[in-house]
Amino acid sequence: MAVVSALPEPNEGDRHGPRGEPELRLGPETLARISAVAAQPGQAWRSEPLARKKAFARRRGEPVAKDAAAPDVDAALERIFQNADFLAGAWLSTGATKADAVAKINTTSELGTGFLVSPWLLMTNNHVIDSPETASGSVAWFRYVEDADGNITPRKVALQPERCFVTSPRDALDYTVVAVAPLDGQPPGQQFGSIPLHGGVGKIVVGQNVNVIQHPSGRTREICVRNNLLLEVVDDTFVLYGADTEPGSSGSPVLSDTWELVALHHASEQKRNAQNQYVDAEGNLATDETPESKRVWVANKGIRVSALVADLRARTLDESNGTEAKDLVGQMLGLGGNI
């Protein structure tokens, strides 16, 4: 297998979540809901709020009126899920197209994942790229994936924060949007495509599968598909889901089974006790010295696309965000139908 570069090891510390991240209190009620979804995923959508059910039904082509009663909305969703195991013939090729927009991120101290959200802009976590200075010393490796013969032929793309750099701290929305350099004289998105940010709700309901395209621990591209459930819509900002992730997965796109972007992968949630303290599999307090084999990971946490879009739309961008920030972010939001 061809190897193109020596990669730094992931930093010690949290499994793949940043220190100082926004705290979620996964109390008994939340854990009970997560368990219920995992036990009966095919029925989990019934617990969703009526407004989210309506939005989901409309996105799936069901003519649901704004004032439709709950029984009528449920009947529409039952029709949608009647043949839930059948996927369109283009499902695999569509997923492959989305995967082409995903890159491995190398900074001087971190490994991460990112993805193009427009021809010129890449998104990842703030805890992967936290400043223009970090971005200037970082690179994105597209098509860092093994082919059928085990060969890797990636394309290296530099970042250009001087053109655009927008970020939200890791204790807020933990995202960074940064411009990428031209590739063969063209926008990288022209070659690799992009995964647009759609700010509307209704892309997915609890109990449905999510798909995570990632570079775990800096390895070649890997994809977790199908057997990963959306477990909880925590609030307007966060969702919880089950999927295999590792250090280096931070900044990955979390997609629905129709390959729409649902969330930006952020971190794992570890089991806590009634006092909101991390505990291990035996109920003892977990510390930095607790071995991985004894830690209990409850779910993964992602930042909802609707929250990302709302934050980007609310910003007043100027030269401090880069010479082309206003135009490039406007183009990105337009591709998602947000303006």
Per-residue pLDDT for the chain (339 aa), expressed as one digit of tens each? 333 333 333 333 344 444 455 556 666 677 788 888 988 888 999 999 999 999 999 998 899 998 999 999 999 999 888 766 777 889 999 999 999 999 999 999 989 999 999 999 999 999 999 999 999 999 999 999 999 999 999 999 999 999 999 999 999 999 999 999 999 999 999 999 999 999 998 899 999 999 999 999 999 999 998 778 999 999 999 999 988 888 899 999 999 999 999 999 998 877 778 777 888 888 888 888 888 788 877 789 999 999 999 999 999 999 999 999 999 999 999 999 887
Q: How far apart are CA 86 and CA 61, in angstroms?
A: 16
CB 288, CB 330: distance < 8 Å: no
Placement of tokens 């793309």 in the chain:
157
DSSP-assigned beta bridge partners for residue 253: 264
Length of the chain: 339
Instruction: Identify the structural domains of the chain with CATH numbers, from first to last.
Output: 28-77+198-308 (2.40.10.10)
CB 106, CB 9: distance < 8 Å: no
Task: Classify residue 146 by its DSSP letter.
Answer: B
Please, what sign has the CA dihedral across residues 19, 239, 115, 200?
negative
Looking at residue 25, its pLDDT comes to 60
CA dist list (Å): 247 to 26, 87, 105: 22, 31, 12
Q: How far apart are CA 141 and CA 151, in angstroms?
A: 15
Looking at residue 15, its pLDDT comes to 46
Looking at residue 24, its pLDDT comes to 61
The pTM assigned to this predicted structure is 0.84
Q: How far apart are CA 89 and CA 86, in angstroms?
A: 9
CA 263 to centroid of chain Cα atoms: 4
Q: How far apart are CA 313 and CA 57, in angstroms?
A: 26
β-pairing verdict for 121-124 and 111-116: antiparallel
Q: How far apart are CA 89 and CA 109, in angstroms?
A: 41
Please give the span between the terminal C-alpha atoms of the chain, in angstroms, as a whole number: 45
